[in-house]
Structure 1
């Protein structure tokens, strides 16, 4: 690699990448948290209906 190409390549996330990483974490947590809450509420209502 020439010195010109090395200066173009950086190992960094940046502000937009960091914001998207946080958004990804929020969405990922929601995928697992919401079904757990729904299962808990449906189980409680099923137990009380009998």
Structure 2
């Protein structure tokens, strides 16, 4: 699965898929990276703070 090789662009750690499958989540930094049309947006500026 591709998720095993994807990493956060900021801390290079693993990401998890959110329950609704519309974002990748970094629990260490509490950032969400959106998935748009099936493509993860993994630019540092794309990270959104999760509440």
Specify the TM-score bucket, using the shorter chain as the normaliser.
Answer: under 0.3
Max Rg structure: 1
Query: TM-score, structure 2 length as denominator?
Result: 0.18
Output the TM-score relative to the length of structure 1: 0.18
Which structure is higher in strand share?
Answer: 2
Relative contact order (C-alpha < 8 Å, sep 6+): which is higher?
Answer: 2
Identify the structure with the greater helix proportion.
1
